[in-house]
Amino acid sequence: MDTRILLTIFLRTFLVGAAFNTKGMQNVGLSFIMEPGLRALYGSDVALLQRARGRYLKFYNTHPFWTPLLVGIFLSMENKIARGLLPPDILPKLRATTVYTLSGLGDSFFGGSLLVTWSLVCINLALSDRPLLLAIWVLFCFLVLQIFKIFTFARGYS
């Protein structure tokens, strides 16, 4: 797949929760993320494109930090489905196992440990009047998170 399309898809992963809803949770965001890849794979075949879109409008909810990895995996699987190497019904089976497993892992590790540590260090540095260290810490954590997301997206796609 074209590098520009992959970059567009990756950047869209930051918007996974933009259309959060109680029925499908992050499903609209996931569909929005996958759209450039689906268009590249199915192009002018409207029927196949509609069926592919439908696969991503089903219930989807996981920790946002895992979304790049999952999107990379889904894009790789969709590529194989489009080439006829895998049947389309394999994607819901894969989603059922990976999404919920990573959701639990993400909530406990990222939400329960990493983000709490990040914020506690920020509070301590702010209260001890160390703005330069605070800025360095925030920048460091932000960059490490972005590297993690880029790495997991690339590994998921490969």
Residue type, 66: W
Among 66, 77, 63, residue whose Cα is nearest residue 34: 77
pTM of the prediction?
0.85
Q: Cα separation of 62 and 67, whole Å?
A: 7
28-76 pLDDT per residue, tens: 999 999 999 999 999 888 899 999 998 888 888 888 888 999 999 999 9
pLDDT at 65: 87
Mean of the pLDDT values across residues 110-121? Answer: 86
pLDDT at 64: 86
- Apex 109 CA angle, 107 and 114, nearest 5: 110
